[in-house]
Amino acid sequence: GNSVTQMEGPVTLSEEAFLTINCTYTATGYPSLFWYVQYPGEGLQLLLKATKADDKGSNKGFEATYRKETTSFHLEKGSVQVSDSAVYFCALSLNSGYSTLTFGKGTMLLVSP
Amino acid sequence: NAGVTQTPKFQVLKTGQSMTLQCAQDMNHEYMSWYRQDPGMGLRLIHYSVGAGITDQGEVPNGYNVSRSTTEDFPLRLLSAAPSQTSVYFCASSYARTGGGYGYTFGSGTRLTVV
C-alpha cells in the first residue's frame, strides 16, 4: 500500500534558523506529493505540491523537491519565523483513478523569538 | 466565502448516543472525504465519496456511516458513540479526476468527546 514517513517532532528552532523536515514515501503507483500545514485550532491548509519527479513546489518561503530516486519530498525554509509554528503534514495521492490522500503523522514545528 | 463548512465545532456525547457531523461545500467538488485526527496518528481516512450517490470505506470505517445525496453535502453519522471515537474530525473536498495533482480543501474540524 501507500505510506508516508515523516521525522518525529517537535522540531524546535530559533527565529531565522534553517528548517528541514524530512519526508519519504512508498507508493503503489505514480504519486503527487503535498505538504499541508495546520495552525493551532484550525484545519489543514495546502502549503505546496509537486506532481512529477524533479518538480519543486514553493510557497511562503517554503520549498520541497520531488525526488523519485530517493522517494523523498523534504520541506525546507531558509529563515523561519515565529508565525511558522504549526504542524506540518506530508501527503501523497496517486496520479490515477480516484485517489485518496495518504498522510504522514505530522511534525510539530516550534519557533522561538 | 467559498469553502468547506463543518458543524458543530465542538460536541460532547455520552456513550451510546448517536449524532451526525455535518459537512457542506460550495465549490462543486465531486470528491469529499472524512478524516479523523488523533495524537501521534496523523489523519486517517474514514469514508469518502466520488460523487452523489457513491461512497466507499477508508482506513477506519467501523462505527461510522455516510451518505451522499447531493454534491454539496456529505454527513458523517455515529450510530452508537464509543469513547474510542473521541477525536477531531475533518471533512475535505477536491476535484475528482484522473491525475492526483489537486490539493484538498479542508473544513475547520469538529472536536468530538465521548464520555
pLDDT, one tens digit per residue, over B24-47 is 999 999 889 999 999 888 899 999
- What is the mean pLDDT of each successive set of 10 residues along chain A, which is 113 residues long? 90 97 93 92 90 94 97 97 96 77 93 96
Tell me what pLDDT residue A109 has: 97
Tell me what pLDDT residue B83 has: 97
**Residue A68 in grid coordinates:** 523519485
- Distance between CA atoms of A14 and B59, rounded to whole angstroms? 38
CB < 8 Å to B101, chain A: 32, 49, 51, 95
Tell me what pLDDT residue B99 has: 44
Tell me what pLDDT residue B95 has: 79
Asked if the Cβ–Cβ distance from B98 to A96 is below 8 Å, we say yes
CA dihedral angle for residue B103, residue B105, residue B110, residue B114, rounded to 10 degrees? -30
- Segment (H or E) for A63: strand A62-65
- What is the mean pLDDT of each successive set of 10 residues along chain B, which is 115 residues long? 89 97 94 91 91 93 96 96 96 71 84 97
CB < 8 Å to B48, chain A: 100
Asked if the Cβ–Cβ distance from B58 to A100 is below 8 Å, we say yes
Asked if the Cβ–Cβ distance from A89 to B42 is below 8 Å, we say yes
- Report the candidate in B67, B62, B76, B61 with the shortest Cα–Cα distance to residue B112: B76
Identify the contact set of chain B against chain A, taking CB-CB distances under 8 A: 4, 31, 33, 35, 40-45, 48, 50, 58, 90, 92, 96, 98-101, 103-109
A3 lies within 8 A of chain B by CB? no
Tell me what pLDDT residue A98 has: 64
- Shortest Cα–Cα distance, A14 to chain B (Å): 24
